[in-house]
Amino acid sequence: MGKATDTTLKMGEEKIPKLLAAYSLPVYMSYTANAVYNIISRAFIGNDTGTLGIAAISVAFPITLIQMSFAFLLGMGGSTLAAIKVGEGDKTGANRILNLSFQMIVVLGIAFTVFGNIFLDRILLTFGASRDVLPYAMEYGRILLFGCLFQMIAIGITNYMRVEGRTGLAMLSVIIGPVINIISACVLILWLRLGLKGAALANVLGQFGCAAIIAFHYVTNKGFFRLNGSILKFEYKLSLEIIYLGLSPFAVQFAQGMVSIFLNVVTRKYGGDIAISGMGIVTTLQVFILTPIQAVNMGSQALIGYNYGSKKHDRIRDLVLYGIAVTTAILIVEYVIMRVFTVRIVSLFGSEDKELTAFSARALVTFLFMLPLIPTQVQGAGFFQAIRKPMHSILLSLSRQAIVFVPALVILPRFFGLDGVLYAGPIADSISFVITLPMLVYHLRKLRKSSMSQSQVLAVE
């Protein structure tokens, strides 16, 4: 295939800022659209159903996080391996990985839907639902589970579009979901007054729209990635490779789900349903605020994987450092804006409940106090994931999500009460940064030395 028609060649040749922007912007647009939908739907529910409605969404949210973790396991694990295969020139092998990932995602998605509906009440009680919140959470969660398969396809398979170089299509496929969500939420919640049912139905409709575009593309695609007869074949060894490379994003997302559950339980113990609702507002806004980091991290995965497979180590170093610098600057600006307009921001979720507004405002600025340190940790974990060092990536990811945060949630509230829950966030961010920085610097220098050695060998030849 000639240079002019091979969209993957630019991964190893384009200027870093332009390339990273091209691959990250579609992810950013899609993540932002989804984050905006979450904010809008919770604002609708907060003003329509009140504190119990927001609490219901908060205790049901870990279901979504756990589903996403398995989509990351198979989607990002498979796409990372596929990117390396493409860098090595093996596009047939890359397509075989796509089909196997799709097969595994479908099987898991169906299993989640069945299992979740059977045990939903027990699951939600474990996730921190009080007896007052449980009926609302059941109403929301039951419908949400039927979009599980669509959500897993949307999250998992979109990664292959970036490996293929179809960044525009990747953006369209994942933006269409939140757009459908927002329009449906306006109709179902504001017009038809369906409340939590409307919010859940809007979510499922959006996920279906996204999954439908992705499936149609890979059935009709003329490129090297396409769904074909091999989707019915299971390859045990290849599936283990996919799972191995997907362990890091899986661990991060799964840990986030488990931590979210634990956070709900601890928050309810020390602050009741008001505090659960307030922390639900904080975590919803946190997802929106962290969107630039996640976008750059996701956008750079295929780029780092390709350049690692092509042995262009200098470009990997530039990708990581540039990504950290840009996202850190963005988060500093975001925190300043959040600090100035704190009360106005949290008031969107129900300004009539003064107790909820007061707690949410204090929780937002305290819990996210060390926000600018997060990009180094996220990009560091993503770097190790992309160069086939998932154990390093898991360690760094879990240092923030679980290894530090969970013990902090156990210890600090015993001394500081509900404030201890808020202090756990910045403490986890700070310690994980201290752990990540030396590991990242060491391995980037190691890659640079390897690149210099290769250059010397080529010069001698």
Q: What digits encode the pLDDT tens for the residues 259-284?
A: 899 999 999 999 999 999 999 999 99
> How high is the pLDDT of residue 80?
86
349-377 pLDDT tens trace: 876 778 889 999 999 999 999 989 999 99
Question: Two tokens at 10?
Answer: 């630019």
Q: Are 23 and 299 spatial neighbours (Cβ–Cβ below 8 Å)? A: yes
Q: Rounded to whole angstroms, how far apart are CA atoms 166 and 177?
A: 18
Query: What letter would DSSP give residue 223?
Result: S
Q: Rounded to whole angstroms, how far apart are CA atoms 285 and 282?
A: 5
Mean pLDDT on 377-391 = 85
Mean pLDDT on 17-27 = 81
Encoded amino acid at 330, one letter? I
Residue 99 has pLDDT above 50, yes or no: yes
> How high is the pLDDT of residue 456?
47
- Assess if residue 6 is contained within a domain: no
- Assess if residue 7 is contained within a domain: no
Q: Are 390 and 384 spatial neighbours (Cβ–Cβ below 8 Å)? A: yes
Question: Two tokens at 429?
Answer: 């961010």
Mean pLDDT on 58-82 = 91
Give the contacts of 458 (CB within 8 A, at least 6 positions apart).
Answer: none
Q: Rounded to whole angstroms, how far apart are CA atoms 127 and 412?
A: 21
Which region among 18-22, 165-169, 391-395 has the lowest average model confidence (pLDDT)?
165-169
> How high is the pLDDT of residue 107?
95
Measuring CA to CA, which residue among 45, 210, 50 is closest to residue 140? 45
Q: CB atoms < 10 A from the CB of 340, how many?
A: 10
- Convert 315-326 to b/e letters by CB count within 10 Å (16 or more is b): bbbbbbebbbeb
104-115 pLDDT tens trace: 999 999 999 999
Q: Rounded to whole angstroms, how far apart are CA atoms 154 and 210?
A: 6
> How high is the pLDDT of residue 8?
59
Q: What are phi and psi of 400, to 5 degrees?
A: -90, -45
Which region among 36-40, 52-56, 110-114 has the lowest average model confidence (pLDDT)?
36-40
127-161 pLDDT tens trace: 999 889 999 999 999 999 999 999 999 889 988 88
Encoded amino acid at 174, one letter? V
- Assess if residue 215 is contained within a domain: yes
Map residue 370 onto helix, strand or coil: coil
211-242 pLDDT tens trace: 999 999 999 988 788 988 878 888 889 999 99
Question: Two tokens at 185?
Answer: 């939420």
pLDDT category, 7, cuts 50, 70, 90? low
Residue 449 has pLDDT above 80, yes or no: no
- Assess if residue 344 is contained within a domain: yes
> How high is the pLDDT of residue 406?
93
DSSP track, 148-178: HHHHHHHHHHHHHHHHHT-HHHHHHHHHHHH
- Assess if residue 4 is contained within a domain: no
Encoded amino acid at 379, one letter? Q
Query: What letter would DSSP give residue 50?
Result: -
- Assess if residue 11 is contained within a domain: no
CA distance between the termini of the chain: 28
Residue 1 has pLDDT above 80, yes or no: no
Q: How far is CA 119 from the centre of its chain?
A: 25
Q: Are 304 and 386 spatial neighbours (Cβ–Cβ below 8 Å)? A: yes
- CB-facing half-sphere around the CA of 171: CA atoms within 13 A: 16
Residue 3 has pLDDT above 50, yes or no: no
Q: Are 242 and 105 spatial neighbours (Cβ–Cβ below 8 Å)? A: no
pLDDT category, 417, cuts 50, 70, 90? very high
Q: Are 263 and 421 spatial neighbours (Cβ–Cβ below 8 Å)? A: yes
> How high is the pLDDT of residue 200?
92
- Assess if residue 237 is contained within a domain: yes
Q: Are 66 and 243 spatial neighbours (Cβ–Cβ below 8 Å)? A: no
Give the contacts of 355 (CB within 8 A, at least 6 positions apart).
Answer: 274
Residue 348 has pLDDT above 90, yes or no: no
Question: Two tokens at 304?
Answer: 């780092």
286-320 pLDDT tens trace: 989 999 998 888 888 778 878 887 777 788 888 89
> How high is the pLDDT of residue 424?
95
Residue 43 has pLDDT above 80, yes or no: yes
Give the contacts of 122 (CB within 8 A, at least 6 positions apart).
Answer: none
Residue 454 has pLDDT above 70, yes or no: no
> How high is the pLDDT of residue 303?
84
- Assess if residue 5 is contained within a domain: no
Q: Are 320 and 97 spatial neighbours (Cβ–Cβ below 8 Å)? A: no
Q: Per the structure, how many domains does the chain have?
A: 1
Mean pLDDT computed over every residue of the chain: 86
Cα–Cα distance list, 275 to 198, 211, 343, 360 (Å)? 24, 35, 16, 8
Query: What letter would DSSP give residue 389?
Result: -
Q: Are 173 and 212 spatial neighbours (Cβ–Cβ below 8 Å)? A: no
> How high is the pLDDT of residue 14?
77
Domain that holds residue 123: 16-460
